[in-house]
């Protein structure tokens, strides 16, 4: 072989790498549903889209707004029913009609829930967390599954460690991502009312196993699902003195903390995220109003700011404790609040325009099903780390 042939082969190899990088850059900017179809174009594209580096690149582009964001809201799991979060967010003021709640409802999509020997076709399904497109689902207080509703990939976790039998107990959960170790972790806590004890187990997706972590002092939690933000999970708990506090769990250090301050001492009812900040939901005693406070600077008490206040006077006459029937799911940039209403014979998802005091029914469910809504992103993240390719196709 002459020197010219060697040069030509090197040029072709260099061009091939360049072409591959360009293709990866273009594909990383496309929505997940398009990428799922493009996996069938050729073997090299299928390998590229399955590559761990590409999955992280696509996720990063979505977070930075380079790739069009696609969020969905699951409000039922039996069967899984989903609303287009982006359509809700982009709703304009004149879409509220006469403001009495009437009007066209949003389209609802039914998903196929993965059914296996361990996960039956029926059962009490609860979404206990969502992170980077993965939804953590607990079934019948026993089986735990990680599920990507967009790619339809799922993984059933090994059975958690057994705990002592008690008639007075409940589980609480959390699910999030530890960026320091590039690992997804599931937390399951067992609270024994009688023994005044809490036991904690943590599952690492990277190791594929459960282990015990440091137990914490007994507290009365009022949230079953932990809220993931800033690398930590957060739950509300009540104190005997008549006020609430936040319990947080750092996924990197795997330690609990009770140091996040509140704006003032009172009962708080829920946690949510607004503009990537931690928010608390308060209902002042003797009023029919909800107040939402946002901590603009994480961990700084002085940064708490009241961002939303809304009244439920129209419900107070119908419910003994209306606070137990209404849960704000999220706040949109325009100040509109999506509320989950739990009636006696029906369940509604309602958009409330607080400024104009108007509301609109988004969807109505005939049955009163106790299920906490969860928002997930459409991503390529797989619940099974072994599905990723180890060779770096993208450079």
Interacting residues of 368 by C-beta distance below 8 A, sequence separation 6+: 342, 343, 344, 345, 346, 347
Please say if the pLDDT value at position 385 is more than 60: yes
Residue 332 pLDDT grade (very low, low, confident, very high; cuts 50, 70, 90)? confident
Using CB atoms within 10 A of its CB, is residue 166 exposed (0-12), middle (13-18) or buried (19+)?
A: middle
Q: Cα torsion at 67, 381, 129, 255 (round to 10°)?
A: -110
Q: Express as a percent the part of the chain with pLDDT over 70.
A: 75
Tokens standing for residue 69 = 């964001």
Residue 361 has pLDDT above 80, yes or no: no
What does the pLDDT look like over 43-100, one tens digit per residue? 888 888 888 889 999 999 888 888 777 888 887 777 788 888 887 777 665 555 544 5
| Nearest one of 233, 195, 212 to 160, comparing CA atoms | 212
207 pLDDT exceeds 90? yes
The yes-or-no verdict on residue 378 having pLDDT over 70 is: yes
Rounded (10°) angle between helices 3-27 and 52-63: 40
Q: Which residue has the higher pLDDT, 214 or 299?
A: 299
* Eight-state DSSP code of residue 357: T
Q: What is each CA distance from 56 to 49, 64, 220, 248, in whole angstroms?
A: 10, 12, 38, 26
Most confident range (mean pLDDT) of 16-25, 85-94, 137-146 is 137-146
Average pLDDT over residues 378-388: 79
User: Which of 343, 336, 369, 388 has the alpha carbon at shortest distance from 46?
Assistant: 388
For the ranges 99-103, 158-162, 172-176, the lowest mean pLDDT is seen at: 99-103
Contact predicate 368/346, CB 8 Å: yes
- Bond prior to 133 in cis (omega within 30° of 0): no
The phi, psi pair for 210, rounded to 5°, reads: -95, 155
Cis peptide before 79 (omega within 30 of 0): yes
The CA-based dihedral angle spanning residues 386, 203, 173, 291, taken in that order and rounded to the nearest 10 degrees:
-70
Coil, helix or strand for 70? Answer: coil
Does 320 have pLDDT greater than 80? no
What local confidence, expressed as pLDDT, does residue 131 receive? Answer: 95
Q: From CA 314, how far away is CA 312, in angstroms rounded?
A: 5
Domain ranges of the chain: 3-65, 71-377
Contact assessment for residue 266 and residue 243, using Cβ atoms and an 8 Å cutoff: yes
pTM as predicted: 0.84
The model's confidence at residue 351, banded by pLDDT at 50, 70 and 90, is confident
Mention the CATH class of domain 71-377: mainly beta
Residues 262 and 247 sit within 8 Å (Cβ to Cβ) = no
Centroid of chain to Cα 205 = 17
**DSSP string for residues in 6-68:** HHHHHHHHHHHHHHHHHHHHHHTTS-HHHHHHHTTT-HHHHHHHHBHHHHHHHHHHHHTTSSP
What's the confidence (pLDDT) of residue 15? 42
pLDDT given at position 391: 39
Mean pLDDT value across residues 186-202 = 86
CB-based contacts of 67: which residues, under 8 Å, 6+ apart? 28, 29, 30, 31, 58, 61
pLDDT tens figures, 248-307: 999 999 998 887 888 877 778 889 898 889 999 887 766 777 788 999 999 898 999 998
* 174 pLDDT tier (thresholds 50, 70, 90): very high
- On whether the CB atoms of residues 214 and 242 are closer than 8 A, the answer is no
- pLDDT tens per residue, range 215-255: 678 787 777 789 999 999 999 888 877 788 888 999 999 99
């Amino acid at each position: 072989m002459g020197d010219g042939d060697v040069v030509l082969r090197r040029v072709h190899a260099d061009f091939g790498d360049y072409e591959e990088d360009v293709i990866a850059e273009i594909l990383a900017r496309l929505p997940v549903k398009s990428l799922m179809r493009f996996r069938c174009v050729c073997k090299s594209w299928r390998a590229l889209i399955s590559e761990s580096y590409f999955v992280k690149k696509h996720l990063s582009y979505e977070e930075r707004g380079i790739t069009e964001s696609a969020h969905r809201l699951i409000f039922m799991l039996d069967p899984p029913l989903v609303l287009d979060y982006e359509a809700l967010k982009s709703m304009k003021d004149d879409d509220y009609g006469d403001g009495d709640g009437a009007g066209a409802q949003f389209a609802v999509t039914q998903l196929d829930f993965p059914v296996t020997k361990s996960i039956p076709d029926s059962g009490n399904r609860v979404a206990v967390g969502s992170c980077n497109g993965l939804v953590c689902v607990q079934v019948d207080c026993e089986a735990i599954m990680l599920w990507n509703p967009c790619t339809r990939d799922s993984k059933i976790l090994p059975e958690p460690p057994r705990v002592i039998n008690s008639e007075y107990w409940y589980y609480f959960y959390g699910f999030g991502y530890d960026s320091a170790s590039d690992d997804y972790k599931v937390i399951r806590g067992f609270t024994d009312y009688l023994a005044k004890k809490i036991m904690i187990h943590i599952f690492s997706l990277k190791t594929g196993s459960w282990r015990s972590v440091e137990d914490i002092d007994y507290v009365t939690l009022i949230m079953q699902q932990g809220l993931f933000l800033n690398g930590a999970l957060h739950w509300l708990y009540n104190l005997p003195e008549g006020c609430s506090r936040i319990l947080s769990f750092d996924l990197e250090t795997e330690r609990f903390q009770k140091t996040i301050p509140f704006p003032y001492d009172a009962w708080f009812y829920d946690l949510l995220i607004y503009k990537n900040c931690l928010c608390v939901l308060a209902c002042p005693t003797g009023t029919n109003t909800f107040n939402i406070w946002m901590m603009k600077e994480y961990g700084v008490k002085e940064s708490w700011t009241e961002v939303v206040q809304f009244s439920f006077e129209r419900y107070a006459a119908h419910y003994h404790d209306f606070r137990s029937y209404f849960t704000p799911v999220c706040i949109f940039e325009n100040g509109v609040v999506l509320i989950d209403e739990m009636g006696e014979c029906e369940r509604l998802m309602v958009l409330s325009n607080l400024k104009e005091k108007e509301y609109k029914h988004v969807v109505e469910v005939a049955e009163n099903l106790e299920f906490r809504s969860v928002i997930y992103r459409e991503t390529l993240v797989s619940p099974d780390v072994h599905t990723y390719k180890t060779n770096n196709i993208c450079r």
